[in-house]
Every structure is written in C-alpha cells, then in structure tokens.
Amino acid sequence: MVDNLLDNALKFTPSGGTVTLGLEALDGGVELSIVDTGIGIPAEDLPKLFGRFHRGRNVGAYPGHGLGLVISQAIVEDHGGQITVASDGAGTRVKVRLPSDDPERRHAL
C-alpha cells in the first residue's frame, strides 16, 4: 500500500517537484501522509478515485490501470484504517490512518 501511494506521488510529480512523507503518532494509532506538488486530481474525479479501473481525466499520458488506489484502500480497510485523498489541482494529499495494535488504544481512532 505504501509502495503504491509513493509510486503514484512520484509518477505524477514532475522533475523539480516535491514529495513529502510524514508519519505521526495519534491517540489510537498512526497517520501516514504523502503530499506531492504534482499534477493534482480534477475535482470531478475525486469521488470516483477508489473505483476499479478509474483513471483521472488528466493522466492519459501516464502508465497505469486504475487499480492501485482501490487495492490500497482494501489493504487499509482490512487493517481497520481509513484512507483519504484531497487535491486542489496543484498537488495531492493522501492520508492513511491505521489503528494501534493495542486494542485499548484502537477505539480512539
């Protein structure tokens, strides 16, 4: 899942752009963030991002099959987490929240 998200950020960020990886401890788990200064995602594509075989309107020149995000989402959800994507057309922010292995901390996520 991390490999796919980083691959997407790197693939869609032109030379000279930035990809930032962050990891933060939260009450009840952790949050992984991947922020890039790439081509962004058109607003009309955001609701469909996690659909099988969906590829954004602006990615025709890039390789891919539209399965990476749906697979990443399944992995995150299978581990009790949540994945969100935001984009303003000048980059993309992906956040993955995963619960702690400690069942007493998991409820806070």
Among 25, 41, 48, 20, residue whose Cα is nearest residue 86 = 41
Tens of pLDDT, residue by residue over 82-105, are 999 999 878 999 999 999 876 554
Q: Per-residue confidence at 106, pLDDT binned at 50, 70, 90?
A: very low
Residues in the chain, total: 109
CA pair distance 20, 81, nearest whole angstrom = 21
- Determine the residue type at 32: L
pLDDT at 67: 67
Q: Per-residue confidence at 19, pLDDT binned at 50, 70, 90?
A: very high
Domains of the chain, start order: 2-106 (3.30.565.10)
Kindly tell me if the per-residue pLDDT of 77 is higher than 90: yes
Helix (H, G, I), strand (E, B) or coil at 50: coil
Helix (H, G, I), strand (E, B) or coil at 85: strand
CA pair distance 7, 34, nearest whole angstrom = 11
What percent of the chain stands above pLDDT 70? 77
Please tell me the pTM assigned to this model: 0.78
Mean pLDDT over residues 58-70, rounded? 62
Of the candidate ranges 32-41, 64-73, 86-95, the one whose mean pLDDT is the lowest: 64-73
- Determine the residue type at 92: T
Pairing of strands 82-87, 29-36: unpaired
